[in-house]
Structure 1
Amino acid sequence: MFLEQEADELIKAVNYVKENLAKQTEDLAAEIIKCFKNGGKVILMGNGGSAGDAQHIAAEFVGRFKKERPSLPALALNTNTSTLTAIGNDYSYDVVFSRQIDGFAKPGDVVIGISTSGNSRNVYLALALAKQKGCFTAALLGKDGGTIKNIADLPLVVKWPNTPRVQECHIFIGHSVCELVDRAF
C-alpha cells in the first residue's frame, strides 16, 4: 500500500539522521543554548516548505516547545511579507534575507538557513554575511548539501533524494534541538 511505502521510506530517512547527524544536532543545540545564555538570538530562514520550517522552529523558541520556560528570542526572516516584497522589488530576491541579516544580526547570534537543495542563493548570501558579522551559522540541507554546505559553520545534510523526506527530517532535527534547548532552560 502507498502509505506503508511512504512510512517505510520516512523511517529509513529518520534512521539516516539518527546514524549520521546525531552529533551535529547536539552541537547545534549547544550553540543555540550558549547563544541564548549570552543574550543572543536565533535567526532562521528558508524558501517554500523550508520557510514554513523556519517559522515553525522560531515559534517553538518564542512560545514554548514541551515545557514552561522563559520566551527565547528567535525570528524567521521569511515571515514579514512587506519586508520581503520591498527588498525583492527594490533590490532582488537574492538579497531578501541578507538585507535583513544586515539589520538584525549581531555577533554571537545563531543564524540557521534551511534549503532542501542546498543551493538557495538568498540563503547562501545571508549565511555568508552572518559569518562576516560574527554569527555562528548552521544549515539544514538536503541532497548533497549544495553550495551552502561550504559556507555554514555547521552543515546538517540529510543526504536523501526525496524532498518531502528531507523536509520531514529537517523538522525532526528542529524538534530535537528544541527539546535539548528546553532541557537547558
Structure 2
Amino acid sequence: MDHYQNIAARFQQTIENIAMSVDQLAEPIAQASELMTQVLLHDGRLFSAGNGVDAVISQLLVTSLIGRLDQERPALPAFNLCADGAGITAVLSDEGPADIFSRPLRALAQEGDLLLALHSGGDPAAVVAAVEAAHDRGMLVVAITCDDGAALSSVLQTGDANIAINAARRSQRVELQTIVVQCLCELIEQNLFGNYQEN
C-alpha cells in the first residue's frame, strides 16, 4: 500500500497550521521566554507539568534546558513534575489525581521559581491545581493552553504568560506545543548566552 499521499497531506497540514499560528503565538512566546530568562537570571528554577502527551513535551523542555539545543553552554535548572512515576503513584493513591503535580511542587519549589503548565486537551484538574500551588508559593506561571483550556486560563494571574494554541485536533496542538517549547528554549539560550557558538 502506498501511503505517500496521506503522509504528504499530513505534512502539508502541519506546515499550514504552523504558518497560520505565527502571528498569534509570536508575542506570547517572546513574553514567556523573557519571564523564564528573568527567573533563571535571579537564580530561580523552572518546573513543568502536563498530563499524558503533554508530559512528554514537558520532558522536552527539561531535557533541552539541562542538556542543550544547538550550542554548548552551562546546564539550566529545570524539573519535570511528570517524570517521577513512583512519586506520582504515591500521591495518586494517597491524595488523588488532582494533587499529582501540586503536592511535589509545594515540597520542591520556592518563591521566584516558575511553572510551565501544559494542556493540550483532556481533564486539566491536576495542571490547574499545580498552577494554584505555584501561585501559593510566589511563583510565576507560563501556560501553553488550547481551545478547551479555559479552566487553566482562568487561574492565571497578572504577570503570568499564556500561549494559547488554536488547532482543531489534539495531535495538531501537540505539534505546535513542541515548536513552542523549542522556541522557548532557543530564546532562553540566546537571552542568556547569545549566539557565541553559532556556526
**TM-score interval (norm. to shorter):** over 0.9
* Mapped contact 1:113–1:127 kept (Cα < 8 A): yes
Return closer, same or farther for 1:108/1:118 CA change in 2, 3 Å cut-off: farther
What is the one-letter code of the residue matched to 1:162?
R
The structure 1 residue matched to 2:38, chosen from 18, 34, 39, is: 34
Kindly state the Cα deviation for residue 77 of structure 1 after the two structures are TM-superposed: 0.3
**How do residues 156-171 of structure 1 correspond to structure 2 at under 5 angstroms?**
156-171=163-178
| One-letter code aligned to 1:99 | R
Structure 2 regions of 5+ residues with no counterpart? 194-199
Report how far residue 119 of structure 1 moved.
Answer: 4.5
Distance 1:43 1:144, change over 3 A: same
Alignment of 1:38-117 (within 5 A): 38-117=42-121
Partner of 1:178: 185
Structure 2 counterpart of 1:171, one-letter code: T
Matched, 1:134 2:138: yes
How far residue 143 of structure 1 moved from its aligned partner, in angstroms, is 2.3
State the alpha-carbon separation in 1 of the partners of residues 100 and 20 from structure 2: 32
Instruction: State the Cα distance separating 1:82 from its structure 2 match.
Output: 0.8
Structure 1: tracts of 5 or more residues without a match: none
Alignment partners' CA distance in 2, 1:54 and 1:13: 21
Distance 2:55 2:148 in 1: 20
Identical residues among aligned pairs (%): 22
Q: Distance in 2 between matches of 1:115 and 1:166?
A: 9
Which aligned runs of 4 or more in structure 1 are off by greater than 4 angstroms? none
Alignment partner for residue 127 of structure 2, among 123, 127, 133? 123
Which deviates more, 113-122 or 126-135?
113-122
Give the conservation status (yes or no) of the 8 Å contact 2:124–2:149.
no
- Single out whichever of 171-180 and 152-161 deviates more from structure 2: 152-161
CA contact (8 A) 2:47 2:81 kept: yes
2:162 to 152, 155, 166: 155
Letter of the 2:180 counterpart:
I
| Aligned counterparts of 2:25 and 2:148: Cα–Cα separation in 1 | 14
Distance 1:118 1:86 in 2: 22
What is the distance in 2 between the residues matched to 1:5 and 1:143?
Answer: 24
Backbone CA RMSD of aligned residues: 1.2
SS in structure 2 of the partner of residue 131 of structure 1 = helix
